[in-house]
Structure 1
C-alpha cells in the first residue's frame, strides 16, 4: 500500500488567497529591472496550463491509492494547483492588458501541452514529477534567498512567496503517487531530461518574447544583467543546479531537501503580511 512521505507537521492544504497585481504588472515590478521582471513573468506564463496538466496526471492514478493520508494530500495538491492556476491566469491577463502578445505565447505553449496530453499516463505522471522538482527547487531558493526578490513590489513578492510555500508543501505528492503506481526509476530519470529541455526552452522563449515587446531584446546591458542574475551573482540557476541534478540519483526523494524550518518561517511571514485576501 502506498504511503505518504510528507513529513509530520507539513500540511498540504490550499489557501484561498487573491492577489490584485494589475497595477504592478504595468511596470518593471522587480526593482525596475527589465530582465528580472521578464524572467519571473515568463515563468508565470507556463503555470496555468502546466499546473492543470499536473492535476490531470495525478487524477489518472488517484483511484489506485489506498493510503488515507496520501489520498487527502492528493486533494490538497489539486486544490493548491488549481488556485495557483487561477491566480496566474489573472497575472497573465494583466500582462496582456499591458500590451504583450500573450495570445501568441499561449498558443506556442498550448501546442506543447497538447502533445504532452497525448502521452501515455505513465509518461505524463513522470513528467509531472520532473516539473514539480523544478518548481520545488526554485521555491526553496526563493524562500532561502529573500535578497533575490529585493526591489520587487510587496504584492508581487507576496504572491511568489505564497506560491513557493505551497509548492514546497506538496513537493512529494506526485512523486509518492508515481512511486506506488509506476515505480519505474529509469523512466522517471529519462523523462526528466525531456522536462529539463522544455522547462528551459519555454522559459527562454517567453523571456525573449516579453523583452521584445519592451524593446530590450537586443539590449546588451539587459542581457549582461540577466546572465549575471541567473549565473553570476546572485546566480539563481547556478545555485539551484546541484539540487536540480539531484533528481537523477537512483535514491532521490523530494524531502531529501528537508526545508521544514524554512517552510515554518516563511509561513509566519506570509500570515503576518496584510497584502493577500
Structure 2
C-alpha cells in the first residue's frame, strides 16, 4: 500500500506565477488598516527562512522513501516551497524599500532558524509537520472566508490565495514522511507545543516591529481593531483554534480536514484571475 495519503484529484506541483506587489506594499494594502496589513506582512517575514527549513527537514529523509507517489510529492513540495520563498523574499524586499528595518527582523528570526537547523533530524521533521499544520489551517481559513481578504488589493489577495492553495495541496507530505520514517506520536505532540510558542511569538514580535515603524505601536484604536480581527469578529485566530488543537488528537492526520472541494473552487478562481 502506498504511504502517500494525498487524496485522488490533488496534485502537488509548483506553479510558476510571479506577483509584483511592490506598489501595494507602499500602502496599508489591507483596507487601509495598519494592523491587518502588519499582521499579514509579519507572516510573510517568516516564510523565506521558515520554508527553506521545511525543505531541509524533508530532504534529510527523502532517500528513505520508496513509495513513487510520495517521492514525486516530495519533489513537488520542495518546488512549491522554493517558489513561496522566492515570492516572499521579493515581498519582504518591498517592505524594506518602504523603510521597515527588515534586516533586524530577519536577523532575529534567522538566529532561531539556525538553532532549529542544529536539532536532531527527527525533531526538525516534527517541527516541520507542526508548522505545516499552522499554515494549512490558516490556508483553509483564508480560502473558506474570502471576506477576510475582500478589503485587500487584488494583487495581494491573489498572492495569498495562491500560497494558501499550495499549502493545502501539500499539507500531508511532510506528515507522511514523518509517519513513515519517525512515527513517534509523543514527539510529534511535544514539538508542536514549541512550534506553537514560536509561531505566535515571532508573528507578534514582527507585527510590533512593523507597527512601531508605522507609528501605531501604542495606538489603542489600532490594537482594539486588531484584537477584534483576530479574536472577535471576524475572529481569524478564534475560528482556527479548533483545527489548530486537532493536531493533539491521537491518530490525527491533515486530510481529516477534507477540503478538496474548496481547493478545486479556489484553483478555478486563481486560474481565472491570472489569465
TM-score, scaled relative to structure 2: 0.99
In 1: Cα distance, 2:114 partner to 2:129 partner: 18
Q: In the comparison of the two structures, how many residue pairs are matched?
A: 275
Distance 1:35 1:251 in 2: 37
Contact kept in structure 1, 2:48 and 2:86, CA below 8 Å: yes
- Whole-Å separation in 2 of the counterparts to 1:73 and 1:7: 12
Residue in 1 aligned with 2:20?
A: 20
The answer as to 2:261 corresponding to 1:261 is: yes
- The answer on 1:227 being equivalent to 2:227 is yes
Residue equivalent to 1:98: 98
Measured against aligned partners, the alpha-carbon deviations of 1:70-117 in whole angstroms (never above 9, x if no partner) come to: 000000000000000000000000000000000000000011001000
Contact 1:2 1:177 in 2 (8 A): no
User: In the alignment, is residue 46 of structure 1 matched against residue 46 of structure 2?
Assistant: yes
Query: In structure 2, what is the equivalent of residue 215 of structure 1?
Result: 215
Cα pair 2:2 2:69 within 8 Å, conserved = no
Distance 1:2 1:132 in 2: 22
1:119 equivalent in structure 2: 119
Cross-structure match for 2:169:
169
| Runs of at least 4 residues off by over 2 Å | none
Q: Distance between the aligned counterparts of 1:245 and 1:251, measured in 2?
A: 13
* Deviation at residue 177 of structure 1 after TM alignment: 0.1
Alignment of 1:128-277 (within 5 A): 128-274=128-274
Q: How does 1:57-72 map to 2 (within 5 A)?
A: 57-72=57-72
Q: CA RMSD in A?
A: 0.8
How much has 1:2 moved relative to structure 2?
5.8
Output one character per residue of 1:214-247: Cα deviation in whole Å (capped at 9) or x when no partner. Answer: 0000000000000000000000000000000000
Q: Which runs of 5+ in 1 are unaligned?
A: none
What is the TM-score of this pair, normalised by structure 1? 0.98
Shift of residue 150 of structure 1?
1.5
**1:116-136 alpha-carbon deviations (Å, 9 max, x no partner):** 001000000000000000000
**In structure 2, C-alpha distance between the alignment counterparts of 1:24 and 1:101, rounded to whole Å:** 18
User: Which residue of structure 1 lines up, in the alignment, with residue 73 of structure 2?
Assistant: 73
Q: State the 1:274 CA deviation.
A: 3.0
Say if 1:14 and 1:83, in contact at 8 Å, map to a contact too.
Answer: yes
Deviation at 1:22, TM superposition (A): 0.3
| Structure 1 residue 250, shift from structure 2 partner | 1.1
SS in 2 for 1:18: coil
Equivalents in 2 of 1:267, 1:19: separation in Å?
16
